[in-house]
Amino acid sequence: MIWPYPRVVAHRGAGTLAPENTLGAIRHGASLGFRGVEFDVMLAGDGTPLLIHDETLERTTDGKGAVAHMPYAEIAKFDAGRWLAERWSGERVPLFADAGCLCRELGVWANVEIKPAKGFEAQTGRAVAEMARELWRGADRPPVLSSFAPEALIAAKVAGPELPRGMLVGRVPADWKARMRELDCVAVHCDYRTLTQPLLEEIHASGYAVLVWTVNDPREAKKLLDWGIDCIVTDRLDLIAPHC
């Protein structure tokens, strides 16, 4: 696959520079020139897709409890910015719908990571794909939907077959070809520390793209880009240029 998306993507909105998975972070990354963003989408207790990484609210909000057991209207009351710095107070846990609209408005491409709470894999994959179809209807560059959960990718394929998918893994498994075929993905998304140049070449030769996360050392970023990596996801928007 020829990767038609940005080669450098901001992790969770704007990496370390803004509270993760918030609209403020997406705006901040875009203001620094990043043309691509990765964020995580989970379902609230009432099935509403929202942006958050953890299954619980404690680390990134001033709320408490399990995301999957609380309706969005409750989650939306919590502050999702102050944990990082006072100047970010007022940020909320955003709706996926609002994040998608913002990306389109800013002209920022999205890698939407389907991040199901345990037990909600298929439901989350389906809900994210259904909403993504609506949000990016008519867009030149649809988002790539990725997930560590195969059930989520399979459900996403059923709900939005035209949306490209990425198989998210730590280390690329030995049977990656069979799994890529089974999940019908266009790209492997792996931990950069487990990737070798020969493996990258082998994956490319099979017609798939490779995205790596989370590359925070500029020397590593340069090495991977020199190898011909399709995309790097970074937390360090202050060290790694968006157009390198």
* Catalytic residue annotation: 11, 53
Least separation, in Å, of the C-beta of 235 and ligand G3P? Answer: 9
Least separation, in Å, of the C-beta of 20 and ligand G3P? Answer: 9
d(CA 210, CA 189): 6
Q: Which does 235 bind (CB under 5 to 8 A by kind): Mg ion, ligand G3P, none?
A: none
Q: Does 20 bind Mg ion (CB under 5 A)?
A: no
Q: Can you read off the two tokens belonging to residue 184?
A: 């019908």
Report the residue count for the chain: 244
Q: Does 20 bind ligand G3P (CB under 6 A)?
A: no
Q: Can you read off the two tokens belonging to residue 167?
A: 């198989």
Q: Does 113 bind Mg ion (CB under 5 A)?
A: yes
d(CA 16, CA 87): 14
The residue from 1, 16, 45, 53 that contacts ligand G3P (CB under 6 A) is: 53
Q: Which residues are CB-contacts of 138 (< 8 A; sequence separation ≥ 6)?
A: none
Closer residue to ligand G3P, CB minimum distance, 44 or 187:
187
Q: Which helix (H) or strand (E) holds 214?
A: none
**Residue 167: beta bridge partners?**
147, 188
d(CA 61, CA 149): 25
Closer residue to ligand G3P, CB minimum distance, 38 or 91:
38
What would the x/- binding string for ligand G3P be over residues 98 to 137, using CB under 6 A?
A: ---------------x------------------------
Closer residue to Mg ion, CB minimum distance, 191 or 202:
191
Q: Which does 165 bind (CB under 5 to 8 A by kind): Mg ion, ligand G3P, none?
A: none
Residue 66: CA atoms inside 13 Å, Cβ hemisphere, count? 9
User: Which residues from 145-164 bind ligand G3P, rule CB under 6 A?
Assistant: 146
| DSSP strand pairing (165-168 vs 109-114) | unpaired
Interface with ligand G3P by CB under 6 A: which residues?
11, 38, 40, 53, 113, 146, 168, 189, 213, 233
